[in-house]
Amino acid sequence: MIIMVTRIALIGFGVVGQGFTKILLEQKESLKTQHGFEYEVVAISDTMKGSVYDENGLDLNKLLEIVEETGEINSYPGGIKGWDSLKTINETNSDLIVEVAWTDLTTGEPAISHVKAAINCNKHCVMTNKGPIALAVNELEALAKDKGVQIRYEGTVMSGTPALNLAMLTLAGSGIYKIQGIINGTTNYILSEMEKGLGYDEALKQAQDLGYAEADPTADVGGYDALGKIVILANVVLGANLKKDDPPCEGITKITLDDVNSALEEGFRWKLIASAELHDDGSVEASVAPKKVPLSHPLANVMGPTNSLTFSTKYVDDVTIIGPGAGKEATGFSVLIDVLDIHRLTSYK
């Protein structure tokens, strides 16, 4: 058996890029012995932290050490420095691009250009960026099919909790007709804290102090982050062709402490619920809105920043997963899920 070495280039070396690198290092031996997967990371390109390329592979321990000490990678000894993301995608000897940079959710850029560049030069691409998938999944999948390469994006929904793989692989053929759940950890944390007596502003401030919410929390509390994810689920799992702004979307900004308390007295809990349903005529309806969920329902008991999704199916009824929706290692792991999946599909021809 000939084992191919996968040559990886990382675009972006922030939280997720470093989390994935750490897991690659820690799992190196078991990836080889259990999964026949051998790799070299040949390039990393990041706007502010710098970039480095060595066709024979980079020393990942050294890179993690340097970025921790200096906040950048320019002092890495050796390698070619200074290549931007597109040059790194196009001109390195990589055969798999990991796109873990930033996206403007209105245009999907620069991530859409990165993914298209990877596909156009016949490289597989794994991403955790929601932008390209929420805005252009059908176009990107068609382009990848045309070029005979794979794109994967498990981390775009629930990070390393395998929502997309569960739906697309394990539950394939189960007749999934409805998906609903809690897919934004920040808002679930805020609602959970309000139940302990904090007002909305206080709970939001606490979420920001803990790093769950951005300084500008609009994407989370306005429901737009959950909207991007439910559009991905609707389009990928239910075969819809929704645009990002098609479904109605309402966040949690109008929920007061009184609302939280009175719901509890009635035996309910407010949750920000994202849902998508496939109708008999083939249309798919999706929405994001705060809903009062009965305390007996599994989603009512998902607290703090944890996420959960229920897939309603024809043959196995409801299947629910609960797990993290963000985090350095959890999202870094989502990249590994996809890299291994591509390895399984492509390496033993």
What span, in angstroms and rounded, lies between the C-alpha atoms of 116 and 135? Answer: 13
To the nearest whole angstrom, how small is the minimum distance from the Cβ of residue 157 to ligand NAP?
Answer: 8
**Residues 27, 37 contacting (CB under 8 angstroms):** no
Residues in the chain: 349
* Nearer of residues 58 and 260 to ligand NAP, judged by Cβ: 58
Instruction: State how far the Cα of 35 lies from the Cα of 289, in Å rounded to an integer.
Output: 42
Interaction between residue 337 and ligand NAP (CB under 6 A): no
Catalytically active residues are 229
Examine residue 253 and tell whether it contacts ligand NAP (CB under 6 A): no
Residues 6+ apart with CB under 8 A from 64: 18, 21, 22, 25
Site string for ligand NAP, 101-120 (x = CB under 6 A): xxx------x----------
Does residue number 225 form part of the binding site for ligand NAP (CB under 6 A)?
no
- Per CB under 6 A, the segment of 44-52, 186-194, 235-243, 268-276 that binds ligand NAP is 44-52
Q: How many CB atoms lie within 10 A of CB 219?
A: 18
Query: Is residue 307 at the binding interface for ligand NAP, with CB under 6 A as the rule?
Result: no
Q: Kindly state whether residue 187 participates in binding ligand NAP, applying the rule CB under 6 A.
A: no
Site for ligand NAP in 2-21 (CB under 6 A): 11-17
Among 8, 23, 100, 183, binds ligand NAP (CB under 6 A): 100
Q: Which residue has the tokens 């993290």?
A: 324
Residue nearer to ligand NAP on the CB measure, 16 or 234:
16
List Cβ neighbours of 334 (8 Å cut-off, separation of 6 or more): 128, 154, 155, 159, 160, 162
- Say how many CA atoms lie within 13 Å of 82 toward its Cβ: 0
CB of 148 to ligand NAP, least distance (A): 26
Residues forming contacts to ligand NAP in the complex (CB under 6 A) are 11-17, 45-49, 85, 100-103, 110, 128-130, 155, 159, 326-327, 331
